[in-house]
Structure formats: C-alpha cells, structure tokens
Amino acid sequence: MTVTKRQSSRKSKLPLHLMLLPAVILTLIFAYLPMAGIVIAFQNYKPWLGIRHSEWVGFDNFNYLFDYPDSRQVILNTLVIAGMKIVVGMIVPITFALLLNEVRKSAFKRTVQTLVYLPHFLSWVILGGILIDMLSPTGIVNHVLVQLFGIKPVFFLGNGNWFRFTVITSDVWKEFGFATIVYLASLAGINPALYEAAELDGASRWKQTLHVTIPGILPIIIVVGTLALGNILNGGFDQIFNLYNPLVYHKGDIVDTFVYRFGLEQGQLSFATAVGLFKSAVSMVVIVISYFLAYRFANYRIF
C-alpha cells in the first residue's frame, strides 16, 4: 500500500519536474559549465593558446590585484555605493509604505502605488540616456537651478562626489516602488484587532505606528536587510556602466566595471577573471553569513 502511494505521488509530481527541467538545463549550461573557466584566473591566459597550453602562474594574478594601485579604491567604491544603496533603499520604501498605508482612499492608493512601481520596468540603458541629457551642464535640471535659484551649473556626472549621489538617488527612485510592495504585503498581515486595542487605550496614529505597525513588519525588515548583505559587492554594473566616464573613475568605478574594462577592453582576461573570482568568493561568504543572520534573528530559512 505504501509503495503504491509513493508511486502515485511520483507520477503526480512528474509534470512539475518536467516543467522545471528546461530551467535546470539552462542553469547548468549558462551558470555551471562556464565555471570551468575559473582556471584562467591562475594562468597567463592567451586566447590563441587556449586553457590547456597557457602558462600556469598560480596566485600571481591575485597578488597583482592587491598590489595594483586602483584595486583598493575600486573595492572601496563598490562597498560605499552598494552599502548606501542598501541602507537608503530600505529606509525609503519602508517610510513610503508606512505613509501609503495611512491613505484611506483605495483608488488614490492604487494609483500612487502603480506610478512609483513603473520605473522598475525601465532598463538602465533607457534611464541612463535620459539622466545624461537631464543632468548635463546644459540640461533641464541645471537650467532650473540657474534660473530659479541662481546656482551655478552642477556637473552631476562629471564630479565624483555628485556622481555617487546621483547613482544612489536614481537607483532608489527606480526600485523603491517595487520594494514597497513587500512592506505593504507585510502591513496587510497585521491583525486589525491590535490597532483597535491600541485605539481604545488612547494611542494616537503615531503611537500605533511605533508600537503596532513597526513591530509588525520588523521580521520582514530584518529578513530583507540581512539578505541584502549578499549584494554588498554588487554596485550595479548596468547602471554605473551607462552613467560613468573617465572623469569619475576615482569615485564611481566598481568591481564589475573594473573587470569589464580590464577583461574586454584591455584584453587582460586572467587578471579580470581573478578579480571576478575574488568578488564571487567574498560574496559567497557574505551570503552564507546573511542567511545565518536571517535565520537567527527572523527565523527565516529557505529549506
């Protein structure tokens, strides 16, 4: 009887496994098979010699990485930009979700939510072109600053400090609408009886927010925050690549763009692979730690 049940269960799950099979095959082909190329990081790789005949140099590429003058600045840029994106990218959607949750007109609430959600679907290729035009010294933003406030034109994409500010702000503007959905869903799960009890005790809306709303969504905030640590070395290649230029390399160059320039533009494939492998190794350690923290403080686990 037990064997029959097992066979029946396997047959019922077979269509689900078949649906999953194409995704598994694509993952193996495009994510796991290319990992064999990691060996390039330990070679003086020459494309015309191939992996089998290129000179083996061990950890020389990694030593060069830490000795290279710009590598430390690139890592620092990545940590600063990615860290600020994580911090501001959590504060803004949480605040917006709390404010939107207080809106009682559902039609207005849905309209606003849809409008702030739309930028998420625009690629950085499109937004990059728009921002370059708008933020140029002769663009509309500087035109408004000069005409209305008498401020000298600001070179947003040509000054390192302003570039970081622009990158972080534009990324938060693009993604906070999508992140807000997570917190709104969490807010919807709070028991309304808690608000009724707090109101009977004389708590104002602000007190209800402090003592009911925020504690109610605190677990999801911890989960999102800890899991976001896994992206601490992902500064956003597509955004940076479409916005940066040689004038802001010292403040805007991140690990991914650094690898792109050295690997594809300058042909230093072994060094670029070593940098990418170093980033992946550090990211893996951070992801493991973040999942442990998510389980420790929010009881979140994948399996």
Give the CATH number of the domain where residue 178 resides: 1.10.3720.10
In this structure, the strands spanning 55-56 and 43-44 are antiparallel
pLDDT-derived band at 167 (thresholds 50, 70, 90) equals very high
Q: What is the mean pLDDT of the chain?
A: 85
Name the β-bridge partners of 43.
56
Note the residue count of the chain. 303
pTM of the complete model = 0.83
For residues 33 and 180, state if they share a domain.
Answer: no
For residues 38 and 175, state if they share a domain.
Answer: no
End-to-end CA, the chain = 29
pLDDT-derived band at 173 (thresholds 50, 70, 90) equals very high
pLDDT-derived band at 2 (thresholds 50, 70, 90) equals low
Is 1 a residue whose pLDDT tops 50?
A: no
For residues 33 and 132, state if they share a domain.
Answer: no
Is 302 a residue whose pLDDT tops 80?
A: no
**Tokens 């939107």, residue located:** 100
pLDDT-derived band at 65 (thresholds 50, 70, 90) equals confident
Number of domains observed in the structure of the chain:
2
At 3 the pLDDT is 53
Taking only the tens place, the pLDDT of each residue in 178-196 is 888 888 888 888 888 888 8
Whether residue 58 lies inside any domain: the answer is: no
Taking only the tens place, the pLDDT of each residue in 117-162 is 888 888 999 998 999 898 888 888 888 888 888 888 888 888 888 8
Residues 6+ apart with CB under 8 A from 119: 127, 173, 174, 175, 177
For residues 96 and 37, state if they share a domain.
Answer: no
At 91 the pLDDT is 92
Cα angle 103-108-112, degrees, rounded to a multiple of 5: 95
